[in-house]
Amino acid sequence: MNTNPYSSDLRIGIVGLGAVGASLARTFDAGIPGIRLVGITVRNPERAAGVLANLKNPLALLDLEELVQASDVVIECAPAALLPQIALPVLSAGKKLVVLSSGALLESPHLIDLARLHGGQILVPTGALLGLDAVTAAAEGVIHSVRMITRKPPRGLVGAPYLLENFISIEGLDKPKRVFKGSAREAARGFPANLNVVVALSLAGIGPDRTALEIWADPSVIRNTHLIEVDADSASLTMTIENIPSDNPRTGRITAQSVVALLRKMNAPLRIGT
């Protein structure tokens, strides 16, 4: 833990030691100039022991209140349903919260007011997506439409509430099947562990009700693939990303790297990209 009050290192706390949290812990443990990992909050310390044992530096297991006290920036990498309870103490303390479960922000807009009230900040990284720099720039003018088409290996969609509620089977597919067509807001409700990216896109652009999404369960892809088309008065954008899965088949490897890139930029003397 950083006990030196004169250090200018950014003190980082992580909540959740799954695919993203463990990747971040390993990266920070290996050392990034100006960034110091001060602790982690987990649900199950016994399950965390394996990851923690392989770090070079001992990492403090803290409860959420202790983590908030010790950190300048807390990174939420936990299940979406926990976002409000994780965000509350961080934002009430006027600190910065990096949100990976960005889909859950739509159900908790009060968190933005909380951040405003206490001088905190919610940071949504580009995560498993691309191009949010160009979309936010386009949003300074007029964006006419935003459309995203996602293709996922069926196993990355298993258990999504929308599929269960609508009795949509994705077992044994031998060709792509469109399983959803609707807005980013509807997708966030129906696929809370799968489509954070479209919510981030919608918040960067024209909002969750006007951002259109199709989801395909596609047995021919091994990567989560997102195609985005934006039509604006400044530019037309067509962008694709093919994400190599991490330890969690729902989560692209690039997600954790996006958080590292965001943190590196925070105090950097040269900052590239919007």
Ligand X SMILES: NC(=O)C1=CN([C@@H]2O[C@H](COP(=O)(O)OP(=O)(O)OC[C@H]3O[C@@H](n4cnc5c(N)ncnc54)[C@H](O)[C@@H]3O)[C@@H](O)[C@H]2O)C=CC1
Q: Which residues are catalytic?
A: 226
Helix (H) or strand (E) holding 231: strand 224-232
Closest to ligand OAA by CB, 67 vs 157, is: 157
List 163's β-bridge partners, or say none. Answer: none
Shortest Å distance, C-beta 4 to ligand X: 27
Angle at the Cα of 12 (from 11 to 16), degrees rounded to 5? 160
Closest to ligand X by CB, 234 vs 253, is: 253
Stretch of residues binding ligand OAA (CB under 6 A), selected from 116-124, 169-177, 214-222, 249-257: 249-257
d(CA 42, CA 3): 22
Confirm or deny that 128 is annotated as ligand binding: yes
Q: Which of 71, 102, 202, 225 binds ligand X (CB under 6 A)?
A: 102
d(CA 273, CA 141): 18
Counting contacts by CB under 6 A, is residue 215 touching ligand X?
no
Q: Which does 41 bind (CB under 5 to 8 A by kind): ligand OAA, ligand X, none?
A: ligand X
Site for ligand X in 109-128 (CB under 6 A): 127-128
Counting contacts by CB under 6 A, is residue 78 touching ligand X?
yes
Shortest Å distance, C-beta 150 to ligand X: 12
Confirm or deny that 160 is annotated as ligand binding: no
Q: How many CA atoms lie within 13 A of 115 on its CB side?
A: 18
Counting contacts by CB under 6 A, is residue 251 touching ligand OAA?
yes
# of chain residues touching ligand OAA (CB under 6 A)? 11
Rg over alpha carbons for the chain, rounded to the nearest Å, is 19
# of chain residues touching ligand X (CB under 6 A)? 29
With contact defined as beta carbons under 8 Å apart, do 246 and 252 qualify?
yes
Shortest Å distance, C-beta 16 to ligand X: 3
Helix (H) or strand (E) holding 257: helix 254-266
Stretch of residues binding ligand OAA (CB under 6 A), selected from 51-59, 84-92, 109-117, 195-203: 195-203
- One DSSP character per residue, 3-19 reads --TT--PEEEEEE--SH
Counting contacts by CB under 6 A, is residue 252 touching ligand OAA?
yes
Closest to ligand OAA by CB, 41 vs 255, is: 255
Q: What is the dihedral of CA 157, 159, 165, 166, to 10 degrees?
A: 40
